[in-house]
Amino acid sequence: MKAAVVTSFTEPLEVQDREIPEPGPGQVLVHLETCGLCHTDIHAARGDWPVKPSPPFVPGHEGVGIVEKLGEGVTNRTVGDRVAIPWLGYACGECRFCISGRETLCEQQKNSGYAVDGGFEEYAVASASHVVAVPDGVSAFDAAPLTCAGVTTYKAMKVASLVPTEKVAIFGVGGLGHLGLQYARIMGGVVIGVDVEDEKLDLATELGADYVVNAAKEDPVAAIQALGGADVAMVLAASPRVFEQAFSSLARGGRLVCVALPKDETMSVSIFETVLKGISIIGSIVGTRQDLAEVFELHRLGRTRVIAEGRKLDQVNESIEAVLAGRVPARLVFEY
């Protein structure tokens, strides 16, 4: 089978021929149909974060495919099921986080495409307990971006405790943002899309954004404050400066939801403003299996649209460059 492998943090990915893996106890073998390219895969391939993966490894945490083989003891899956392999590849199921609906905080978790090989390959093994069923009516192509971009922004909107008619500023209308803005609308928000590319802002408008701001052409803080300030600002662009702009664009009582994971990890915010304005700063990491099931169900019901273009795995390096240059329509999806 083909696999796109990170061999070093400073080299392009290598497309290699590998043996099809065997599912171990509690695992399934998934014949992948698609896998989205998340900006996190780029951070992973470059070793951007303090906790680094160990090359060689296969990135990808938006893998979707058909269960082809069951490992020993697997009873909850059947050969032929279509499943998604999300970032939360495994969690212990027993710790205080797992048993209180916060499995994404589990300290024993294993992340797909980071700690264990992910979806940039034709076959992957995954924990049977943590793959998520893709319902009939959701295509493998659409399911891929929903598996990280969708669930992450859906969960981020949940933790923002949005009240209908509140203003939600989405900083970065890329893979995550184009779905995030749809969830903000579904939950009753008035949406302000912020990006530095006009094409992304046109897409935001097409997907229902009430206002758009091009941060390369005007100061997003002034533009959003002129609208009364944002009640929720969700940061999806990987730059500390954008976090600071998002913070400054908040109204009193506002919530800054931190989602992007820039390499330079420190932001500077005013303690005085945080206190006087009663601002909350919230970190949000992906979503649970149940969150993903809800994301799939919303899509099955026709409430969301996935904007993406297909690519072949051989195009992995040029695809990464295109994402970094902001030249893609929301998401790229490898099709096998």
Ligand X SMILES: NC(=O)c1ccc[n+]([C@@H]2O[C@H](COP(=O)([O-])OP(=O)(O)OC[C@H]3O[C@@H](n4cnc5c(N)ncnc54)[C@H](O)[C@@H]3O)[C@@H](O)[C@H]2O)c1
152 belongs to the binding site for ligand X (CB under 6 A): yes
In the block, which residue shows the tokens 């195009």?
315
Q: What are the CA-CA distances from residue 207 to residues 3, 179, 203, 234, 329 (Å)?
A: 34, 9, 6, 17, 13
User: To 10 degrees, the CA torsion angle through 148, 149, 152, 154?
Assistant: -120
Nearer to ligand X, 77 or 155 (CB): 155
CB 222 within 8 A of CB 194: no
Least gap, CB of 87 to Zn ion (angstroms): 6
Least gap, CB of 169 to ligand X (angstroms): 10
Q: Select from ligand X, Zn ion, none the partner in contact with residue 319, using the beta carbon and a kind-dependent cut-off of 5 to 8 Å.
A: none
- Going through 14-59 in order, the beta strands assigned E by DSSP cover 14-17, 27-37
* Alpha carbons 98 and 289: distance in angstroms, whole number: 11
Nearer to Zn ion, 95 or 186 (CB): 95
Q: Which of 220, 222, 232 is nearest to 280 (CA)?
A: 232
230 belongs to the binding site for ligand X (CB under 6 A): no
Q: What are the CA-CA distances from residue 311 to residues 56, 271, 317, 335 (Å)?
A: 23, 45, 11, 6
259 belongs to the binding site for ligand X (CB under 6 A): yes
Pairing of strands 230-235, 167-171: parallel
Least gap, CB of 202 to ligand X (angstroms): 12
Residue 142's H or E segment, with its range, is helix 140-145
Q: Select from Zn ion, ligand X, none the partner in contact with residue 86, using the beta carbon and a kind-dependent cut-off of 5 to 8 Å.
A: none
200 belongs to the binding site for ligand X (CB under 6 A): yes
Least gap, CB of 239 to ligand X (angstroms): 5
Instruction: 266-272: list long-range contacts, CB under 8 Å, 24+ apart.
Output: 266/240, 267/240, 267/243, 268/240, 268/244, 269/243, 269/244
Positions that interact with Zn ion (CB under 5 A): 38, 40, 91-92, 95, 98, 106, 148
Q: Select from ligand X, Zn ion, none the partner in contact with residue 43, using the beta carbon and a kind-dependent cut-off of 5 to 8 Å.
A: ligand X
The piece of 5-13, 20-28, 193-201, 291-299 that touches ligand X (CB under 6 A) is 193-201
Q: Select from Zn ion, ligand X, none the partner in contact with residue 215, using the beta carbon and a kind-dependent cut-off of 5 to 8 Å.
A: ligand X
Q: Select from Zn ion, ligand X, none the partner in contact with residue 95, using the beta carbon and a kind-dependent cut-off of 5 to 8 Å.
A: Zn ion
Nearer to ligand X, 124 or 259 (CB): 259
* Alpha carbons 221 and 25: distance in angstroms, whole number: 52
Nearer to Zn ion, 147 or 249 (CB): 147
Say whether 183 sits in a helix, a strand or coil: helix
Instruction: 97-102: list long-range contacts, CB under 8 Å, 24+ apart.
Output: 101/288, 101/290, 102/288
196 belongs to the binding site for ligand X (CB under 6 A): yes
User: To 10 degrees, the CA torsion angle through 239, 180, 144, 138?
Assistant: 180
Q: Select from Zn ion, ligand X, none the partner in contact with residue 138, using the beta carbon and a kind-dependent cut-off of 5 to 8 Å.
A: none
The piece of 116-124, 247-255, 279-287, 288-296 that touches ligand X (CB under 6 A) is 279-287
Pairing of strands 2-5, 14-17: antiparallel
In this chain, which of 84, 230, 237, 313 binds ligand X, going by CB under 6 A? 237
175 belongs to the binding site for ligand X (CB under 6 A): yes
Contact string (CB under 6 A) for ligand X, positions 283-322, x = contact: -xxx------------------------------------
Least gap, CB of 13 to ligand X (angstroms): 17
CB atoms within 10 A of CB 53: 21
Residues interacting with ligand X, by CB under 6 A? Answer: 38-40, 43, 148-149, 152, 171-177, 194-197, 200, 215, 236-239, 242, 259-261, 284-286, 323, 326
